[in-house]
Structure 1
Amino acid sequence: MKKNSVLATLGAVVLAAVAAFYGLDLGTDDAREESQQPSSFVGGIDTCEVATLPDEAEPVIDDILSGGPYEYPGEDGGHFGNYEGLLPAEHSNFYRSYTVDTPGLNHRGPKRIVIGGGTETDPEVWYYSDDHYESFCLIPDAEE
Structure 2
Amino acid sequence: MLKAVATRARRAGLLCVLGVAFVVSPVVGHARNSPSTDGSLTPIALAELPPQGRATYALIREGGPFPYEKDATVFGNRERLLPAQQRGYYREYTVRTPGSRNRGARRIVCGGKQPRTPDACYYTSDHYASFRKIVE
> Does TM-score exceed 0.5, indicating one fold?
yes
SS at match of 1:65: helix
CA-CA distance at 1:42 after TM superposition = 7.4
In structure 2, distance between residues paired with 1:63 and 1:116: 15
Larger radius of gyration: 2
Please show how residues 1-144 of structure 1 align to structure 2 within 5 Å. 43-72=39-68, 74-141=69-136
Question: TM-score under structure 1 normalisation?
Answer: 0.67
In structure 1, distance between residues paired with 2:52 and 2:38: 24
Q: Please identify which structure carries the higher helix content.
A: 2
Calculate percent identity across the aligned residue pairs: 40
Instruction: Give the root-mean-square deviation of aligned CA atoms.
Output: 2.5
Aligned to 2:12: none
Question: TM-score under structure 2 normalisation?
Answer: 0.71
Provide, for residues 1-57 of structure 1, a one-character-per-residue CA deviation record: whole Å limited to 9, x for no partner.
Answer: 8xx9xxxxxxxxxxxxxxxxxxxxx8xx6xxx9xxxxxxx97431000011111101
Aligned residue pairs total: 107
Query: What stretches of structure 2 of length at least 5 have no aligned partner?
Result: 10-22, 31-36
Query: What stretches of structure 1 of length at least 5 have no aligned partner?
Result: 5-25, 34-40
In structure 2, distance between residues paired with 1:88 and 1:56: 25
SS at match of 1:45: coil
Letter in 2 for 1:78: T
